């Protein structure tokens, strides 16, 4: 997901708020969600190691801002809660 969180607790809170039709992201203490029957996606909380993120956030306003310059394109992330 195109999102960054300061803590695992913030990631759980964000997921749970936007997926009330699902059980909590950390219901089994694994930091894995169930497979969503609508989107067919599963979410995992993990440390960012520069993986190319491709799934939009649950709220479009939460996606990173794209900054274009002569040196290329960068994404500016806001930490979500």
Q: What global pTM score does this model have?
A: 0.89
Give the strand pairing for 65-69 and 72-76: antiparallel
Q: What is the pLDDT of residue 55?
A: 95
- DSSP 8-class letter at 61: G
Per-residue pLDDT of the chain (81 residues; tens, 9 = 90+): 999 999 999 999 999 999 999 999 999 999 999 999 999 999 999 998 888 889 999 999 999 999 999 999 999 999 999
Other Cβ atoms within 10 Å of 16 Cβ, number:
16
The Cα 80–Cα 62 span in angstroms is 7
Find out whether 12 and 45 touch, Cβ atoms under 8 Å: yes
């Amino acid at each position: 997901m195109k999102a960054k969180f300061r803590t695992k607790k913030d990631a759980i809170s964000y997921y749970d708020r936007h997926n009330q039709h699902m059980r909590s992201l950390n219901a089994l203490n694994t930091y894995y969600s169930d497979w969503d029957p609508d989107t067919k996606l599963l979410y995992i909380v993990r440390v960012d190691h520069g993986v190319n993120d491709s799934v939009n956030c649950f709220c479009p306003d939460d996606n990173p801002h794209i900054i274009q310059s002569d040196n290329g394109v960068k994404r500016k992330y806001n930490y979500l809660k």
